[in-house]
């Protein structure tokens, strides 16, 4: 994107006293200066969104859907620009940028297809047939705060902003400092499609100051990020008695059964672990392999990784790109160094690749990771997997579940056998013969975590209805009135007893 194009996008953020330099993580070169909002400026943006909410809520669902349809066409027409921005801001390969792009297009078309039916008033079974009628309306909440991270800036923006808007809410989004351009460009397409400008406000700045200001002002919060920060968001939202949905961390396991095709299992593990350089909440980090095929699996995964092309180019020639900054490189390098110092063995990778750029790290496979290593249970968020053997499937299941997290899991092997294992795994999503994409790609399937991996779900009708307030309306009708005196209760009691016996 040209400097003028960047300046035009950034102009939405307005004038601020402070700004920071944003770098291309693949090259380390400064791309542009990003304004940094204060808490007071966040409040100003909130007020704009709040003032716009009444008119937007009054816009018919049918009209909102038509805007989404136009937005969908614009997102499709601007594929290359979006891919370029994703690569510029995250350093990921073209292939992984495209994978994210797919996850950003589908929410627009999906919610355009279900919004009218899902948001329509719904008749419900009355408590007293003939005498009463009940139905439910789904009304917008108000201003939704959306806090998005740097790793999937396009998909994670669209997965929350799209349903919030089509439900009739306005949005105040905190985009991560590293990846704000992607969100700003997505917003510009929405405005072109017909979303009123003030209905979607974006702010950037210091995470704590800006994030707290959002949580302290909006009517609902959708947060994606670390479990530690998610707890803070939840506590702060609870103090205001506002709703919150949290998509948090994971230490996602894969179980490779003896019935698995070993070569294919190695490919699935690689795809699940190194997509976007492993910087994805649902990435596979722990692999448990039946001991009968463990040696063959390690040879296969090492051989396949040896053929990987690492780098960033604006075509599909590279298999994996860069980490998205120095903090991630330090975390990944530190975890691997700590694990090897405590006895882990490196099967493949295990090193930074500074000759390619400042934040490249080789996809890494380790064995014999000890329980006292950071890598054993903490989320790495990089292209690193640990491989552990097992003799009994029950032991692999127990090890897979032995974590505070429960976001994603995978089972590779005979489908029937794998399904039986999947039912015993404590995770919001379980993929069979795939790492994460089978479930992640399904907009109809709820996506979210168990345990410390989050609260609430994205996707499906529930992913739209969570951005509404359900209002139940009951109507008393018919020739017989509901009682208010003791004698009337006595008269109606036989009828009510009959209803209690047979009415379902």
| Residues labelled catalytic | 247
Contacts of 486 (CB under 8 A, 6+ apart): none
Tokens of 171: 């949005």
Tokens of 131: 């005498």
CA 433 to CA 419: how far, in whole Å?
A: 10
CA 62 to CA 116: how far, in whole Å?
A: 7
Question: Residue 30: exposed, middle, or buried by beta-carbon count in 10 A (0-12, 13-18, 19+)?
Answer: exposed
CA 230 to CA 291: how far, in whole Å?
A: 37
Beta sheet of 454-455, edge-to-edge order: 200-203, 170-174, 143-147, 220-224, 243-247, 454-455
- Torsions phi, psi for 349 (to 5 deg): 75, -130
**Overall residue count recorded for the chain in this entry:** 504
Largest CA distance in the chain: 90
CA 447 to CA 458: how far, in whole Å?
A: 5
Tokens of 315: 């075509």
CA distances from 81 to 84, 98, 314, 330 (A): 5, 11, 11, 30
């Amino acid at each position: 994107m040209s400097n003028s194009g960047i300046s035009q996008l950034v102009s939405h953020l307005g004038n601020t006293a402070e700004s920071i330099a944003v770098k291309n993580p693949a090259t380390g070169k400064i791309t542009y200066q990003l304004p940094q909002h204060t808490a007071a400026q966040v409040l100003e943006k909130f007020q704009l969104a709040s003032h716009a909410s009444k008119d937007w809520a009054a816009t018919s669902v049918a009209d909102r859907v038509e805007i989404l349809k136009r937005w969908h066409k614009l997102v499709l027409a601007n594929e290359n620009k979006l891919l370029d921005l994703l690569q510029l801001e995250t350093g990921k390969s073209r292939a992984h940028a495209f994978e994210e792009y797919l996850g950003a297009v589908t929410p627009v078309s999906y919610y355009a297809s279900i919004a009218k039916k899902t948001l329509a008033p719904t008749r419900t079974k009355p408590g007293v047939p003939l005498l009463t009628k009940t139905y439910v309306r789904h009304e917008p909440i108000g201003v939704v705060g959306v806090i998005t991270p740097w790793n999937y800036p396009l998909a994670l923006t669209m997965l929350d902003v799209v349903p919030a808007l089509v439900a009739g809410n306005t949005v105040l989004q905190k985009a991560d400092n590293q990846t704000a351009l992607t969100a700003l460009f997505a917003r510009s397409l929405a405005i072109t499609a017909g979303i009123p400008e003030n209905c979607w406000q974006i702010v950037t700045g210091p995470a704590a100051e800006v994030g707290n200001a959002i949580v302290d002002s909006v009517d609902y919060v959708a947060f994606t990020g670390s479990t530690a920060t998610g707890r803070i968001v939840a506590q702060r939202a609870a103090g205001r008695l506002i709703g919150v949905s949290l998509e948090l961390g994971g230490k996602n396991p894969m179980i490779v059964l003896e019935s698995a095709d070993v070569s294919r299992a190695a490919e699935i593990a690689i795809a699940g672990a190194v997509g976007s350089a492993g910087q994805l909440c649902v990435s596979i980090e722990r692999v448990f392999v039946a001991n009968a095929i463990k040696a063959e699996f390690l040879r296969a995964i090492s051989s396949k990784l040896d053929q990987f092309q690492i780098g960033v180019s604006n075509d599909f020639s590279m298999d994996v790109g860069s980490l998205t900054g120095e903090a991630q490189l330090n975390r990944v390098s530190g975890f691997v160094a700590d694990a090897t110092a405590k006895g882990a063995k490196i099967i493949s990778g295990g090193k930074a690749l500074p000759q390619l750029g400042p934040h490249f790290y080789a996809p890494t496979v380790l064995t014999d990771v000890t329980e006292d290593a950071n890598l054993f249970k903490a989320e790495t968020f990089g292209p690193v997997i640990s491989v552990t053997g097992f003799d009994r499937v029950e032991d692999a299941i127990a090890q897979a579940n032995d974590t505070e997290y429960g976001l994603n899991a995978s089972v590779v092997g005979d489908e029937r056998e794998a399904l039986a294992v999947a039912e015993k795994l404590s995770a919001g999503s379980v993929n069979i013969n795939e790492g994460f994409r089978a479930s992640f790609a399904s907009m109809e399937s709820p996506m979210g975590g168990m345990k410390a991996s989050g609260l609430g779900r994205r996707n499906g009708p529930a992913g739209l209805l969570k951005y509404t307030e359900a209002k139940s309306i009951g109507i008393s009708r018919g020739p017989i009135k509901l009682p208010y005196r003791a004698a009337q209760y006595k008269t109606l009691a036989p009828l009510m007893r009959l209803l209690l016996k047979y009415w379902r």
